[in-house]
Amino acid sequence: MRLTILMAVLILAAAVHIAAGQLTDPCITTDRRIDLQAGTPPIEGILTKRLEDHFYRLEGIKPGQRVTVEVELRSNTSTAISLLLLREAQPRNFARIAGEQIIVGRELQNMSFSWIESSLGEGRPALCFKVGQFSEARPVTSSYRLMVSLEDVSDFRGGDAPDKPEKAVDIGEIGPGQQITISGYLSSSTGGNDHVDYYIFSASLSKGDEIVVDMTASPDSSTLEATILDRDIFGLKSNRTVNGRAELRLPWEKTESQAFYLKFSNNGGVGGEARYTATITVKRTSPSTTTQTTMAEQPTIEPTTARMIVFGGVTLIAAVSVLALVMRLREPRVREITYDEWQV
Residue 94 lies in a domain: yes
Q: Which residue, 68, 15, 11, is CA-closest to 40? A: 68
Confidence at residue 31, expressed as pLDDT on a 0 to 100 scale: 94
Residue 123 lies in a domain: yes
Confidence at residue 177, expressed as pLDDT on a 0 to 100 scale: 85
| Domain count of the fold of the chain | 2
Domain boundary among 261, 283, 305: 283
Domain boundary among 152, 185, 211: 152
Structural domain boundaries, residue 141: 23-152
Indicate whether 207 and 275 sit together in one domain: yes
Q: End-to-end CA distance of the chain: give it in Å, rounded.
A: 142
- Residue 276 CA: distances (Å) to CA of 71, 127, 145, 322: 29, 26, 34, 95
Least confident interval from 43-57, 202-216, 287-301: 287-301
Q: Please say whether the beta carbons of 109 and 72 come within 8 A.
A: yes
Indicate whether 196 and 124 sit together in one domain: no
Indicate whether 100 and 176 sit together in one domain: no
Indicate whether 194 and 105 sit together in one domain: no
Domain boundary among 95, 125, 152: 152
Indicate whether 135 and 172 sit together in one domain: no
Indicate whether 28 and 148 sit together in one domain: yes
Confidence at residue 323, expressed as pLDDT on a 0 to 100 scale: 56
Indicate whether 173 and 147 sit together in one domain: no
Residue 289 lies in a domain: no
Residue 5 has pLDDT above 50, yes or no: no
Indicate whether 176 and 141 sit together in one domain: no
Indicate whether 220 and 147 sit together in one domain: no
Q: What is the C-alpha separation between 13 and 38, in angstroms, rounded?
A: 41
pLDDT digits (tens, 9 = 90+) for 243-282: 999 999 999 999 999 999 999 999 889 999 999 999 999 9
Indicate whether 144 and 212 sit together in one domain: no
pLDDT digits (tens, 9 = 90+) for 99-149: 999 999 999 999 999 999 997 665 678 999 999 999 887 789 999 999 999
Residue 333 lies in a domain: no
Q: What is the C-alpha separation between 69 and 191, in angstroms, rounded?
A: 12
Q: What is the share, in percent, of the chain residues with pLDDT greater than 90? A: 64
Q: Which residue, 31, 39, 102, 96, is CA-closest to 67? A: 39
Indicate whether 231 and 135 sit together in one domain: no
CATH number at residue 106: 2.60.120.680
